[in-house]
Amino acid sequence: MNTIQSLSQLLAAGQASSVELCQDYLARIQTRNPELNAFITVDPERTLAEARAADARRAAGQAGMLTGVPIAHKDIFCAEGWLTTCGSKMLSNFVSPYDAHVIEQFKAAGMPCLGKTNMDEFAMGSSNETSFYGPVKNPWDTSRVPGGSSGGSAACVAGGLAPAATGTDTGGSIRQPAALTGITGLKPTYGVVSRYGMIAFASSLDQGGPMARTAEDCALLLNVMAGFDPRDSTSLERAKEDYTRELTPTPGARPLAGLKIGLPREFFAEGMSADTARAVEDAIAQLKGLGAETVEVGLPNSRLSVAAYYVLAPAEASSNLSRFDGVRYGYRTPEYEDLTDMYEKTRAEGFGAEVKRRIMIGTYVLSHGYYDAYYIQAQRLRRLIADDFTEAFKSCDVILGPTAPSTAFKLGEKADDPVQMYLSDIYTIAVNLAGLPGMSLPCGFDGQGLPIGMQLIGNYFSEAKMLGVAHQYQLATDWHQHRPALSEEKGVRS
């Protein structure tokens, strides 16, 4: 299994160059991407130029730990010289003239970009079916969705097309696809990763994070991504942390001794498929075996999180997406009578159905006479939901539950039923509303051989602790090492 960590060792030992690694991944992208559709843009020359620079840096003795290790970036991150579409026809011609903060950080670390990954249009979706560039297929079963909105990033990591990828999570868009594709993904505390250059969906909820094979890899990647950025006013000014610091706690048979895991009764009450319930129960037993205790906690308002989210996120989105007007960049309708006609046609043609639905919802809830009943009320709920977590964390260190109610569903299965689709994120949304860190990691398979994910939720800034727990679980289990048949690693050095 190629982890970031193992590739870094290969490079350090001189057993592979960055150019060789990138060539291997690019070759696999060429072979497998036509079926998976995980990438929107691949630019081998650009990737290899970055790889050569990384090798030169290593030769000069200036390599960091991850220098030369390739990574794929969700197409929501602006990257200079790269087509940056956000999965939309609206930006189908937009080559970014600048780098997002996250992209800058990875460039500074010397990690070549393998390509820009497919995603739900403007990150609005839970199946990657709303992309203008077509749906992404789940490597475990290509008749199924990989989840969304970071579906391309999830599928490329699960399918072995990249060792790791960036994602963004507004209501579960890192964790739910990680669960549906059997990988590990982390959404940090709101404000830990700069949003500068990350195309906004819902500004108060959006947060970038890593998607990889293991918790350890996520910790290494978060070390690169996180940090204060004065260009994002919501970026938190805190001292740099080492997110790997809790990956090697006291050795022994009970490494998690003293850890209190909170189990929200609402998460286990209903809605979860039987296979998911069993896998999560097994994981709890396993964690207890490692020394953890469990306590029941209550998140009474979490049932309202989907409702609150589908007021607040569309409200912010309706305003954030106003800049896509055909005036300065992006798509503009070819023929129009006057200004209003240009706006109407550009936006009617440039946006897909789900994006338009959310713009309309958002415009409605912000309208005069409805604002108090919807937006203000949803903000109140948001506060209550956050307060529930604060209360719960008085009696536990991390919270555990399922990531998604079911495993990967069939392409088209929920595409015409937005409410069913929205419920895919029922366990993840509350975490965004509260601004807390959360992660998903593999914990089993269902009867059809599809991966199941469990979710860990930490208190504010407890990423390191959460990663430590996940790491111990991954040392004791091998769910994260299972690979879909599709992605045998021929040709990759390991």
* Residues in 122-161 at the binding interface with another protein, rule: CB under 8 A: none
Interface residue with another protein among 336, 371, 445, 461 (CB under 8 A) is 371
Among 268, 343, 445, 461, binds another protein (CB under 8 A): 343
Question: Considering the rule CB under 8 A, would residue 380 count as an interface residue with another protein?
Answer: no
C-beta of 404: minimal distance to another protein in Å?
26
98 interacts with another protein by CB under 8 A: yes
Nearer to another protein, 250 or 340 (CB): 340
Instruction: Rank residues 284 and 315 by Cβ distance to another protein and give the closer one.
Output: 315
Sheet holding 39-41, edge to edge: 39-41, 113-117, 71-74, 164-169, 207-212, 184-187, 438-445, 451-458, 398-402, 260-264, 293-297
Whether residue 140 contacts residue 453, with contact meaning beta carbons closer than 8 Å, is answered with: no
Under the binding rule (CB under 8 A), the answer on residue 230 touching another protein is: yes
Q: Which stretch binds another protein (CB under 8 A): 9-17, 313-321, 450-458, 459-467?
A: 313-321
DSSP, residue by residue, 254-319: -TTTT-EEEEEHHHHHSS--HHHHHHHHHHHHHHHHTT-EEEEE--GGGGGHHHHHHHHHHHHHHH
Does the footprint of another protein cover residue 174 (CB under 8 A)? no
Of 332 and 480, CB closest to another protein: 332
Selected binder of another protein within 100, 224, 408, 454 (CB under 8 A): 100
To another protein, the closest distance from the beta carbon of 313 in angstroms equals 11
CB 107, CB 99: distance < 8 Å: yes
Supply the minimum distance, in Å, between the C-beta of residue 5 and another protein. 30
- Planar angle of CA 347, 348, 350, nearest 5 degrees: 60
What's the CA gap between 148 and 121, in Å, rounded? 10
Of the candidates 230, 225, 234, the residue with the CA atom closest to the CA atom of residue 202: 234
For residue 49, the SS3 value is helix
| Window 26-55: residues binding another protein (CB under 8 A) | none
Contact pick of 21, 315, 378, 450 for another protein (by CB under 8 A): 315
Q: Which residues contact 149 (CB under 8 A, 6 or more apart)?
A: 87, 119, 120, 123, 124, 125, 126, 128, 130, 168, 170, 173, 177
Total residues interacting with another protein, rule: CB under 8 A? 44
Among residues 53 and 342, whose Cβ is nearest to another protein? 342
Neighbours of 143 (CB within 10 A): 11
Q: Is 203 in the site for another protein (CB under 8 A)?
A: yes
Q: Sign of dihedral through CA atoms 353, 357, 358, 360? A: positive
- 196 touching another protein, by CB under 8 A: yes
Residue 366 lies near another protein (rule: CB under 8 A): yes
Catalytic residues: 74, 149, 173
Residue span 63-92 as binding mask against another protein, x where in contact by CB under 8 A, dash where not: --------------xx-----x-x----x-
Cα-based distances in Å from 174 to 136, 150, 206, 241, 260: 15, 6, 11, 22, 25
329 binds another protein per the rule CB under 8 A: yes
* Contact between 202 and another protein per CB under 8 A: yes
Q: Is 327 in the site for another protein (CB under 8 A)?
A: yes
Which residues share a beta bridge with 410? Answer: 144
Counting contacts by CB under 8 A, is residue 349 touching another protein? no
363 binds another protein (CB under 8 A): yes
Torsion of CA 406, 411, 414, 418, to 10 degrees: 110
Q: Which residues bind another protein (CB under 8 A)?
A: 77-78, 84, 86, 91, 94, 96-98, 100, 195-200, 202-204, 230-234, 315-316, 318-319, 321-325, 327-329, 339, 343, 363, 366-368, 371, 375
